[in-house]
Amino acid sequence: MHCTEHHTIRTRLLHTLAAAALSVAGLLPLPAANAQMNPPQARPQAQPPSPTISDEKLNAAAAAIRQVRDIQQSYQRKIEATPSDKQRLTTEANDAMAKAVTDQGLSLDEYNSIISTAQNDPAVRKKLTQRMRRSGQ
């Protein structure tokens, strides 16, 4: 894969990561968070059962969500203060968000899968939000 193509895919993944983290954290309404990335689709009548997510993974995801949210807020302020550095700061923010996730022992794919599951499964969402509250949310 070409370096620029890899960067574009990673940037899209991290934008999804940030939007998903904020929607699960209750900071953005879910439709607004997904509006940029996913066109509206008809919802299926019945959803398949969600995979079981270990307590360890839920704890890691809750910690990562908090860190991703903090990083995004910090870099948003930096970008607003110095718009001429937006590209560089966006790249830094993306790298910092990815590191925050991997530092919790999750791959970006695992993190996004947990977020997606939480968005679609009320039981998983409840477990995740409870952990986020315990960790200072």
Amino acid at 13: L
pTM given for the model? 0.67
| CA torsion through residues 82, 85, 91, 92, sign | negative
87 near 124, Cβ under 8 Å?
no
Tens of pLDDT, residue by residue over 59-113, are: 999 999 999 999 999 999 999 999 999 999 999 999 999 999 999 999 999 999 9
Give the chain's radius of gyration (CA, Å): 15
What stretches of 1-137 show up as alpha helix (H) in DSSP?
3-24, 30-35, 55-81, 86-103, 108-120, 122-134
Amino acid at 8: T
